[in-house]
């Protein structure tokens, strides 16, 4: 054993032998018990209150009844949700059809009124016109046909300069204005 | 050995039995805490805190046989906390006069054990340059005479880590002993 180890062992042995002495075990004991019993009482107080308010849930038949009731409530809830979803689906499809109809009707009616306004001139109010839808369609078809024929006529006149001059002359005579095709 | 019956009754909330447990085990806890902290008041505080933790967590202990190592673990962790807090305040360094006094006291071959104060000064000076882990390994292995397995269970360190920390602590302390005593 070298001197260094010897010295080390000596010191360690002395320290080992000299166990620290706790003189005030009772003080520590009293303090610990005091702190514990304080918190223990609080714990007991809280748990007592919880037991008083919710302790009844541990009674067997109450528990079983509550479980059954909750299962029933969940089933009713699911059933109601299904019905509500179906209703929502049905109503949303209805709403779409109604809207589309309305739009079609509305746009069609506006178009027809505008056409009548154009044909009748500014003096004719669209609200005053009473005409059946069949007559209206017939009228519009005639206007379209007339427009096509007018275009063809203009084309024919355009191709023949002599005819063009003749027509212009006739129109000038009728309207007393210079007209150019 | 702590009786299993006492621990079981403490688990059931028996404060009188816990009083006995505190009485039996607080000196052991104090010994470790004092050797770790080298301060009687702080060691007493650690013992108190440890006992309160034990009361609160007594249900977590798996078997009565493990009670002692479990208690050591709580003490060591609380000591670590104290040492960490202490880092902010610079450690008192002994002058040559203090070393002379220590040297004289040790070379006297004391027939009686050292007083707490003397033990505190010696351990404090010898372990001044050790890390908290090295100090814990030194105290538990060399002074409390626990086996490497027990120290491993208490500190959570591997056996290799314990051996290396112990080797380093021994070397450091030997250097101090050689230099000053």
CA dist., res. A155 & res. A146, Å (int): 14
Residues B27, B29, B31: CA angle, nearest 5 degrees:
70
The pTM for the full model equals 0.58
What is the per-residue pLDDT across B76-118, written as a single tens digit (0 to 9) for each? 999 999 988 876 655 556 667 777 777 777 777 556 677 888 8
Whether B47 and chain A come into contact, CB under 8 Å, resolves to yes
- What domains can you pick out in chain B, each with its CATH number? 1-91 (1.10.1740.10), 94-181 (1.10.10.10)
Whether B123 and chain A come into contact, CB under 8 Å, resolves to yes
CA dist., res. B38 & res. B32, Å (int): 10
For chain B, which ranges sit under pLDDT 70?
1-2, 87-95, 109-112
What is the per-residue pLDDT across A15-62, written as a single tens digit (0 to 9) for each? 888 888 888 788 888 888 888 877 666 666 676 777 777 777 767 788
B52 to A7: CB separation less than 8 angstroms, yes or no: no
Whole-number pLDDT of residue A24: 79
Which candidate from B13, B19, B119 shows the least CB-CB separation from A29?
B19
Spell out which residues of chain B touch residue A8, defining contact as CB-CB under 8 Å. Answer: 170, 173-174, 177
Whether B19 and chain A come into contact, CB under 8 Å, resolves to yes
Which candidate from B43, B123, B181 shows the least CB-CB separation from A15?
B123
Find residues 39-68 of chain A whose CB sits inside 8 Å of chain B: 40
Q: Which long-range contacts (CB under 8 A, 24 or more apart) does B109-113 make?
A: B110/A14, B113/A17, B113/A18, B113/A19
- With a threshold of 0.85, tell me whether the complex ipTM lies above it: no
Total Cβ atoms within 10 A of residue B7: 21
């Amino acid at each position: 054993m070298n001197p260094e180890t010897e010295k080390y062992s000596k010191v360690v042995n002395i320290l080992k032998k000299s166990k620290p002495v706790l003189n005030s075990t009772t003080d520590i004991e009293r303090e610990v018990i005091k702190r514990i019993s304080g918190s223990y009482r609080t714990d007991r107080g809280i748990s007592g209150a919880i037991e008083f308010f919710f302790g009844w849930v541990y009674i067997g038949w109450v528990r079983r009844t509550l479980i059954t009731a909750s299962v029933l409530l969940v089933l009713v809830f699911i059933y109601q949700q299904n019905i509500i979803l179906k209703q929502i689906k049905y109503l949303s499809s209805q709403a779409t059809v109604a809207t589309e109809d309305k739009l079609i009707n509305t746009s069609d009616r506006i178009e027809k009124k505008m056409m009548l306004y154009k044909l009748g001139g500014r003096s004719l109010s669209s609200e005053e016109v009473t005409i059946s839808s069949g007559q209206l369609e017939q009228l519009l078809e005639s206007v379209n046909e007339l427009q096509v024929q007018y275009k063809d006529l203009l084309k024919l006149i355009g191709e023949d300069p002599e005819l063009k001059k003749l027509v212009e002359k006739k129109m000038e005579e009728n309207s007393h204005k210079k007209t150019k095709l | 050995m702590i009786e299993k019956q006492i621990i079981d009754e403490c688990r059931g909330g028996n404060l009188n039995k816990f009083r006995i447990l505190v009485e039996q085990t607080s000196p052991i806890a104090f010994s470790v805490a004092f050797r770790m902290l080298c301060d009687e008041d702080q060691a007493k505080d650690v013992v108190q805190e440890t006992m309160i933790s034990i009361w609160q967590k007594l249900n977590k202990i798996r078997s009565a046989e493990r009670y002692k190592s479990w208690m050591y673990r709580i003490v060591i962790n609380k000591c670590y906390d104290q040492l960490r807090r202490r880092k902010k305040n610079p450690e008192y360094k002994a002058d040559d006069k203090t070393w002379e006094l220590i040297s004289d006291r040790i070379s006297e071959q004391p027939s009686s054990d050292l007083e707490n104060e003397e033990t505190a000064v010696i351990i404090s000076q010898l372990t001044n340059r050790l890390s908290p882990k090295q100090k814990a390994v030194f105290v538990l292995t060399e002074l409390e005479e626990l086996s490497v397995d027990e120290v491993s269970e208490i500190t959570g360190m591997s056996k290799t880590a314990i051996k290396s920390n112990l080797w380093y602590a021994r070397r450091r302390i030997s250097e101090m002993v050689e230099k000053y005593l």
